[in-house]
Structure 1
Amino acid sequence: MAELLSVTKENGVATVIIDNPPMNVLSVQVTKELDEVFQALKDDPKVITVILTGAGERAFMAGADIKEFPDKEKNKSTEIDTHDVFDRIENISKPVIAVLNGFALGGGLELSLLADIRIAEEHAQLGLPEVNLGLLPGAGGTQRLPRIVGASKAKEMMFTGDPLSAEEAHRLGLVNKIVPKGEGRDAANSLAQKLANHSLQSLSRIKHLVNVGSELPIDEGQDMEKQLFDDLFVTEDAKEGVRAFIEKRKPVFTHK
Structure 2
Amino acid sequence: MSDSETVLLDREGDVATITVNRPEAMNALNTEVLETLLATIEEASDARVLVLTGAGEKAFVGGADIAYMSELSVDEAQEYAELGHRVTDAVEAFPGPVIAAVNGYAFGGGCELALASDLRVASQNAVLGQTEIDLGIVPGWGGTQRLSRIVGDAIARRMVFFGERVDAEDAQRLGLVGNVYAQAELDDEVAAMAQELAEKPAFALRSAKEALNQVHEMSQSAGLAYERRLWSGLFGTHDQREGMEAFVEKRDPDFE
TM-score, normalised via structure 2 length: 0.93
The answer as to 2:44 corresponding to 1:27 is: no
Report the counterpart of residue 225 of structure 1 in structure 2: 227
8 Å Cα contact 2:151/2:174 also seen in 1: yes
Q: 1:128 aligns with which of 101, 123, 130?
A: 130
**Structure 2 residue identity aligned to 1:35:** L
Measured in 1, the distance between the counterparts of 2:13 and 2:250 equals: 24
Q: How has the CA–CA distance of structure 1 residues 78 and 122 changed in structure 2, closer, same or farther, with 3 Å as cutoff?
A: closer
Measured in 1, the distance between the counterparts of 2:206 and 2:74 equals: 40
8 Å Cα contact 2:38/2:86 also seen in 1: no
- SS of 2:240's equivalent in the other structure is helix
Q: 1:12 aligns with which of 8, 11, 14?
A: 14
Report the counterpart of residue 178 of structure 1 in structure 2: 180
8 Å Cα contact 1:99/1:120 also seen in 2: yes
Report the counterpart of residue 238 of structure 2 in structure 1: 236
TM-score, normalised via structure 1 length: 0.93
Q: 2:110 aligns with which of 67, 87, 108?
A: 108
Q: How has the CA–CA distance of structure 1 residues 69 and 48 changed in structure 2, closer, same or farther, with 3 Å as cutoff?
A: same
8 Å Cα contact 2:246/2:253 also seen in 1: yes
Measured in 2, the distance between the counterparts of 1:12 and 1:244 equals: 23
**Structure 1 residue identity aligned to 2:194:** A
8 Å Cα contact 1:48/1:196 also seen in 2: yes
Spell out, residue by residue over 1:10-33, the C-alpha distance to the aligned partner (whole angstroms, 9 max, x if none): 131111111112200011111111
**Structure 2 residue identity aligned to 1:86:** T
Measured in 1, the distance between the counterparts of 2:72 and 2:120 equals: 30
8 Å Cα contact 2:114/2:120 also seen in 1: yes
Question: How far has the Cα of 1:240 moved from its partner?
Answer: 1.8
Cα-Cα RMSD: 1.7
Moved over 4 A (4+): 77-80
Higher alpha-carbon deviation: 191-200 or 178-187: 178-187
The alignment covers a number of residue pairs equal to 251
Measured in 2, the distance between the counterparts of 1:14 and 1:208 equals: 20
8 Å Cα contact 2:34/2:83 also seen in 1: no
Report the counterpart of residue 58 of structure 2 in structure 1: 58
Measured in 2, the distance between the counterparts of 1:74 and 1:219 equals: 40
Same amino acid, percent of matched pairs: 40
Measured in 1, the distance between the counterparts of 2:75 and 2:225 equals: 45
8 Å Cα contact 1:213/1:220 also seen in 2: no
Q: 1:38 aligns with which of 41, 55, 58?
A: 41
Runs of 5+ in structure 1 lacking a partner?
none
